[in-house]
Amino acid sequence: MGFYKWNFNANDHQMRLDDGEVIEGEMLEKYEQGQSLLLAAGIITGILGLCFLCCCICFRQSLAIAIDCIDASADYLNKTKRIIFVVVGHFALGVVVVLLWMAAMVCVASLNTIKGKHAIPFRDWDWEEKPFGMAMGMLFGIFWITAWIEYANCFIVMVGAASYYFTSNRKEEGSASICKGFKWAYVNHCGSIAFGAFVIAVIRFIRFCFMYLAKKAEQMSGENQVVKAAVACAQSILKCIEDICDYINKSAFAYIAVTGESFCPAAWHGFLLNLKHLLKFQMAMFLASAFILLGKLVIVLGNCYFYMFIFPYT
């Protein structure tokens, strides 16, 4: 309908399209509401665009850093395409570990007293003390192992990026040492990665236990809204703590990839570095994320408008 020309008659409160169709009443009100929403969306988008333009002008130095980071990242990925196999390999390793853990958990669950039901394929059991302790230990173990795999993958990428940066100059690009990243991740700094993964595993284990107890509390309270609000606030706090620790861990691993220090000194120095350049780093990250988001939106909207004009002729 939006592709047709139309004539609006304010006295009769109706709208006539060029093909003779007349829109009035409830349909016309919906059409006018849609126009109002589009106008409001355009105004809001214009205001946000103006604010973003002001940020770009006021923080030109951070914008330059963000552009340099995006450009360097693109060059690094273009030069080091084999980094894809590192990510895919660690993902496959994580899948294998989770499948083996599930098989082991089934064996642990079978140690309980299993009760049959009327339906043959289904069984029920009550967790006994010893199997329950084993299950909780295995649950914490899978959190720890998966976090270690995630951080090992991230650390190898960081070591490759650091080696690529320090071997590059204005005349030629350097080369990323992925093999050194594997050696550092699995030999030299395996303990540092394990310690960072242990911290995240503890927080995730606490979050899991809290969510389980919170569900029980909600059921016992009869779906009380106050209890639900308190549980939601507590979950948000735990999630924030996990994100903060994850950020500190990644900062420590980045510092290790550059200096080769152990985890605790690297975490402290990385924290001080972020604290010293907090505004510059955050603005650079915000502007870089905004440009990446704008690129995605342009691609999506461009494809949508392209097919909207193509479909009527196909």
Written as six digits, the tokens of 224 are 């009380």
- Range name among 22-26, 97-101, 198-202 with the lowest pLDDT average: 22-26
Contact by Cβ (8 Å): 159, 257? yes
The whole-angstrom separation of Cα 242 and Cα 249 is 10
Cα-Cα-Cα-Cα dihedral sign, residues 3, 9, 15, 19: negative
Give pLDDT tens digits for 143-178: 999 999 999 999 998 888 888 888 877 777 778 788
Residue 227 near residue 221 (C-beta atoms within 8 A) = yes
The dihedrals phi and psi of 15, each to the nearest 5 degrees, come to -130, 130
SS3 category, 21 = coil
CB 177 within 8 A of CB 187: no
Q: Kindly give, in sequence order, each residue whose CB lies less than 8 Å from that of residue 193, ignoring residues fewer than 6 positions away.
A: 148, 151, 152, 155, 185, 253
pLDDT of 4 strictly over 50: no
Average pLDDT of the chain is 80
